[in-house]
Amino acid sequence: MAGDNDSKYRPATQLVTGGRSGDFARDVVNPPVWRASTHLYDNCAELRARKAANRDGQFFYGRRGAPTQWALSEALTALEPGAAGTVLYPSGLAALVGALLTVLRSGDVLLVADNAYDPTRNTATGLLAGFGIEHRFFDPLDLDAYEAAFCDRTRAVMLEVPGSLTMEVCDIPALARIARAKGAVSLVDNTWATSLGFPALKHGCDIAITALTKHVGGHSDVMMGSASAGDHWYRRLRLGAQQLGHVVSPDDAALVLRGLRTMGVRLEKQSATALAVAEWLAGRDEVAHVLAPMLPGTPGHALWQRDFAGGCGLFSFVLKGGDDAARCRLVDALALFGIGYSWGGFESLALPFDVEPVRDTMPWPKAGWGVEDRHAIRLSIGLEDQDDLIADLANGFAALTEG
C-alpha cells in the first residue's frame, strides 16, 4: 500500500484522499480499527512468502502493523513530496530517536542545531553519548560555523525549523546542501509546519520527522511520531523501527488519521488567529520581542516566506524586564489558555520558558536585546475566537502590575 509518493492532487485534496486506496477501506470511508497481534495464513508457503515481503499491506505479525496503521502511513507519505514511505513510532521523540539510531553508529559525530527540541538534545548528550556517538551543537543561523563544525566522522545533522521555543528560521536548503556535500545525512524535525507547510525532503533533507502528537493528531488525545524518507532511508528506518520493537496501536492510528483529515483547515484558522494575536502583542509596551516567523518584520520572516507554504498557531514572546514573578502572574491570570506542554491541539496553551538551560552556542539575550529581556512565554493558539483570546491576554497583562 505504501507505494511511491503520488502527487496527483494538491495538498488539501491529499488530506482527504490519502490512505483510502487499499482494499481494506473499499466499502467504508475510514479504514476499520483493525486490532491484531496474530495474523493467520492459509498454508506454510503463504507464511514464508509474507515474512520475506516485509511491506505495508502484507499481513505478517502485529508488530508490522495492520490496515489502520498502513492507511495512516500511506496518507502521510502522500503528503510528503519525495517520500517513498513513512514509518510510525509511538511518540514524536521515539521517531527522532528511532531515526537517529538508524543512521548513527559508534564513533560517528552528530551535529545538532542548538535550538533543537530539548529532549532531542538530551538524547544526544545521554543515550547517544553512551553508545560512543559524539555530538556538537551548532548555531543554525551561522552557516560558516556550521560548515567548519564538520569533521571526517560527521555522519548526520539534526535540524529543526523553526527552532523550539525561540522560533528562529534557519536556511534549511543551504544547511541540507552543505550536509550532502560533506557526505552527511540530514534529519529535520518538521513538527511546526508539517509537510503541508514545509516539504522538507523537497528542500533537500533526507529524513523528515513529525511529532504527530501536535498538529496531525490535533486534539490533545494521542501521542505518535513519524519519519518519512526516500527509498534508501525509508527501508532502513523501517528495519530500524522493527529492530527497536516499535509499533503503534490501531486505535491511536485511527485517531491520528481522523485528525489528519481536518489538519489543513485547523492550521489555516490557527495561523490567522496567531498572526492577529502576535500583532496585538507586538503593540504592547510590556513586550520586548515577539518571536513569530509569520509576523512581518520579525527575524526569519523573509526565510519563512521563501520556504514555507503555511504556518501554525505556535509562537513565543519575551517580556521586558527580568521579573519572573510578574511573568507567572500573567500566565496564571489567563482563563482561556491552559498551562501545559505540548501544542497543536484545538485549545490554546501558554508555557513560561527560560532559554539559558537549553542553549550552548546561540547567544541569549540576542544582540540588541536588553540583558534583562530573558523571560519568555510560548503560546499555542487554538480554535477559540480571536477577540476572546486577546481579551484573555489583556487580563493577563493587567495582572503583570499587580505585584
Ligand X SMILES: *Cc1c(COP(=O)(O)O)cnc(C)c1O
Which residues participate in catalysis according to the annotation? 63, 117, 189, 214
CB 401 within 8 A of CB 334: no
How many residues sit close enough to ligand X to count as binding (CB under 6 A)? 12
Place of cell 538530551: 122
Smallest gap from residue 118 Cβ to ligand X (A): 9
Binding mask 194-213 for ligand X (x = CB under 6 A): -----------------x-x
| Adjacency order of strands within the sheet including 375-380 | 287-291, 314-319, 375-380, 349-353, 338-339
Distance (Å, rounded) from C-alpha 259 to C-alpha 202? 24
Entry field: residues in the chain = 403
Using the rule CB under 6 A, is 91 a contact of ligand X? yes
Q: Which residue is nearest to ligand X (CB)?
A: 92
Using the rule CB under 6 A, is 217 a contact of ligand X? no
Using the rule CB under 6 A, is 164 a contact of ligand X? yes
Characterize the bridge pairing of strands 134-138 and 349-353.
unpaired
Characterize the bridge pairing of strands 375-380 and 349-353.
antiparallel
Residue 304's nearest CA partner among 189, 206, 188, 162 is 162
Using the rule CB under 6 A, is 123 a contact of ligand X? no
Nearer to ligand X, 75 or 314 (CB): 314
Q: Which residues of 202-240 are buried (b: 16+ CB within 10 A; e: fewer)?
A: ebbbbbbbbbbbbbbbbebebbbbbbbbbeebbebbbeb
Using the rule CB under 6 A, is 191 a contact of ligand X? yes
Using the rule CB under 6 A, is 102 a contact of ligand X? no
Select the residue interacting with ligand X from 15, 72, 223, 256 (CB under 6 A).
223
Using the rule CB under 6 A, is 163 a contact of ligand X? no
Using the rule CB under 6 A, is 117 a contact of ligand X? yes
Smallest gap from residue 89 Cβ to ligand X (A): 9
Using the rule CB under 6 A, is 228 a contact of ligand X? no
- The residue ranges that bind ligand X (CB under 6 A) are 91-93, 117, 164, 189, 191, 211, 213-214, 223, 225
